[in-house]
Amino acid sequence: MGIELTVLGAGREVGRAAVLLSGADGRTNIMLDYGVSFDEDDKPLLPLTVPPSKITAILITHAHLDHIGAAPFLYTSARPMAAMSRLTLEIGRLMIEDMLRLSGYYLPFEYPELITMLENTKTVGLGESFWINNIYVDVLNSGHIPGAFMYRLVSGERSVAYTGDVNTIDTRLSRRLSTDGVEANILIMESTYGMYDHPSRQRVEDLFIETVRSVVEDGGIALVPAFSLARSQEILALLVERLPHSNVYYDGMAKEILDLFLKHREFISRYDLLEKVKNTFTPVRSSEMRKRICREPGSIVVTPAGMLKGGPVQYYIKRLWNDEKNTIILVSYQAPTTPGRRLLMLGSLEDGGPRVRAKIYWFDFSSHAGATDLFNLVKSVKNLEKVVLVHGGEDSIYTLGYRIREELGVDFIAPKNGEKLSL
Ligand SMILES: [Zn+2]
Ligand SMILES: [Zn+2]
Residue 252, pLDDT > 80, answer yes
Ligand 1 centroid to residue 47 C-alpha, Å: 16
Ligand 2 centroid to residue 288 C-alpha, Å: 36
Ligand 1 centroid to residue 175 C-alpha, Å: 15
For 140-162, the pLDDT digits (tens) are: 999 999 999 999 999 989 999 99
Ligand 1 centroid to residue 168 C-alpha, Å: 14
Ligand 2 centroid to residue 287 C-alpha, Å: 32
- For the chain, where do the domains classified as CATH 3.60.15.10 start and end? 4-196+367-422
Residue 202, pLDDT > 80, answer yes
**Ligand sitting nearest the alpha carbon of 192:** 2
**Ligand sitting nearest the alpha carbon of 15:** 2
Ligand 1 centroid to residue 142 C-alpha, Å: 10
Cβ–Cβ under 8 Å, residues 177 and 141? yes
Instruction: Judge if pTM exceeds 0.75.
Output: yes
User: Nearest Cα to 366, choosing from 216, 233, 199?
Assistant: 199
Ligand 1 centroid to residue 26 C-alpha, Å: 31
* Degrees to nearest 5, angle at CA 185 with 182 and 188: 85
CATH: 3.40.50.10890, 3.30.1330.10, 3.30.70.20, 3.40.640.10. Which one for 201-362? 3.40.50.10890
For 258-272, the pLDDT digits (tens) are: 999 999 999 999 999
Ligand 1 centroid to residue 151 C-alpha, Å: 15
Ligand 1 centroid to residue 203 C-alpha, Å: 23
CATH class for the domain made up of 4-196+367-422: alpha beta
For 16-73, the pLDDT digits (tens) are: 999 999 998 889 999 999 999 998 888 999 999 999 999 999 999 999 999 999 999 9
**Ligand sitting nearest the alpha carbon of 95:** 1
pLDDT computed for residue 1 by the predictor:
59
Percent of the chain at pLDDT > 90 equals 93
For 64-110, the pLDDT digits (tens) are: 999 999 999 999 999 999 999 999 999 999 999 999 999 989 999 99
pLDDT computed for residue 393 by the predictor:
96
- For the chain, where do the domains classified as CATH 3.40.50.10890 start and end? 201-362
Ligand 1 centroid to residue 406 C-alpha, Å: 28
pLDDT computed for residue 128 by the predictor:
97
**Ligand sitting nearest the alpha carbon of 14:** 2
Strand partners, 409: none
Computed over every residue of the chain, the mean pLDDT equals 96
Residue 254, pLDDT > 70, answer yes
User: Nearest Cα to 367, choosing from 272, 227, 184, 244?
Assistant: 227
